[in-house]
Amino acid sequence: MAAKIQQAPRTLTATRSPHRERVRRCRNRSEHAWAYLMIAPVTIGLGLFYLWPIVQTFYYSFTQSGPFGGHQWIGAANYRALAHDSSVTQSALNTVFYTVLQLAGIPLAVFVAALLNQRGLRGRSVYRVIYFLPVVTMPVAAAMVWRWMYQGDNGIINHLLSGFGIAGPHWVSDPSTAMYALAAVGIWMAFGTNLVIFLAGLQGIPAEYYEAAKVDGASATRTFFRITVPMLTPSIFFATVLTVINSLQLFDLVYMMMGTPSDATGQSNPAMPHVQTIASLFYEKAFIEHDTGFGAAVAFVLVAFILLVTVVQFRLQKKWVHYA
């Protein structure tokens, strides 16, 4: 659409008059200068702090940091080392598992969005504020609160569970529950974002579809699955891509919920091997152990993951996303 609008005036101004042509060329030249001036700050900033660093990180991944801060070329040794390092494989598996668990938040958010979108519902904006609150909460602070609620001995969650006669585990230090505990916090934090995306998507569904369904006597459940969900698939696809990209980069929750003062990265937590993500492994290798080369190689594992998953998602999209 936008491209079409953009083309139209250009064909109009491109007249055959030689004078006009000269004026236009002159304007073009000054427009060039203006354009370069206007993109200069971003180009320099992105180049210096983002683009060139990609190249540098790639280079570092083939080096070992020397004792005096230099970098020594060691070929693909870091990549060979990480292929045989069980902590890398394990953290890659953990990251994927966390991401899959995060996807469970999406159908939940679709359901709540559909509930909120019902005609005649009061207090919609109050609910929206409440569900959105965790999105604007600092993840570090949220992680601290949840860690406290997950406390094994006097945490509120186990206290509430004991009311039902259930003895809750030490959620974040028990290897069998730690990942689920973190994933629940992740879903809680992202819920509002997904909800708002779906609410916006619901606005785009023509009311006639629902009226037609009503005339046909379709049940609420049937309407939801036959109209709401299919019409919402572009939003669901977008939320899925967003969730996957964010989840694959999880760091804050692991850092804040697994460590202790004497052990900031949580290596002595028995559950850590089951929760360590690629990003937290990267931080530990690059900035705690100062093994820059290995850390850089770990970062590229994540790049490969994200590219792969994104390509797969866009391929699969054709099978289930309906664009109206």
Partner 1 sequence: MPDLASSRRPRSGERGRLIATHTVLIVGGLVMLGPFVWELLTSLKPFGETTQNPPTILPHHWQLSNYSKVFQSLPFGRQFLNTVVMTVGRTLAQLVFCSMAGYAFARMRFRGANVLFGLFLSVLMVPGLLFLIPQYVLLERLGWLNTMQGLIVPGMFSAFGVFLLRQVFMAMPYETEEAARIDGANPFQIFWRIMLPLARPGLAALAILSALSAWNDLMFPLVVTTDPNKMTLSAGLATLQGEHFTDYSVLMAGALMATAPMIVVFLVLQKQFVQGIAFTGSKG
Site for partner 1 in 165-194 (CB under 8 A): 188, 191-193
H-assigned helices in 168-249: 178-203, 207-215, 220-223, 229-248
Distance in Å from the first CA to the final CA of the chain: 15
Q: Which CA distances in Å does 319 have to 200, 242, 294, 307, 316?
A: 23, 19, 39, 20, 5
Task: Restricting to residues 38-57, name those near partner 1 by CB under 8 A.
Answer: 38-39, 41-43, 45-46, 48-54, 56-57
Gap between the Cα atoms of 243 and 323, Å rounded: 20
Task: Restricting to residues 6-35, name those near partner 1 by CB under 8 A.
Answer: 6, 8-9, 28, 30-32, 34-35
Gap between the Cα atoms of 97 and 254, Å rounded: 14
Q: Is 201 in the site for partner 1 (CB under 8 A)?
A: yes
Measured at the CA of 70, the angle between CA 283 and CA 305, to 5 degrees, comes to 35
Q: Is 60 in the site for partner 1 (CB under 8 A)?
A: yes
| Cβ distance to partner 1 smaller for residue 179 or 299 | 299
| Binder among 225, 287, 314, 320 for partner 1 (CB under 8 A) | 287
| Binder among 181, 275, 286, 297 for partner 1 (CB under 8 A) | 286
Q: Is 256 in the site for partner 1 (CB under 8 A)?
A: yes
| Binder among 92, 181, 190, 199 for partner 1 (CB under 8 A) | 199
| Binder among 26, 83, 115, 212 for partner 1 (CB under 8 A) | 115
Residue 142 C-beta: closest distance to partner 1, Å = 7
Is residue 221 within 8 A of residue 247, CB to CB? The reply is: no
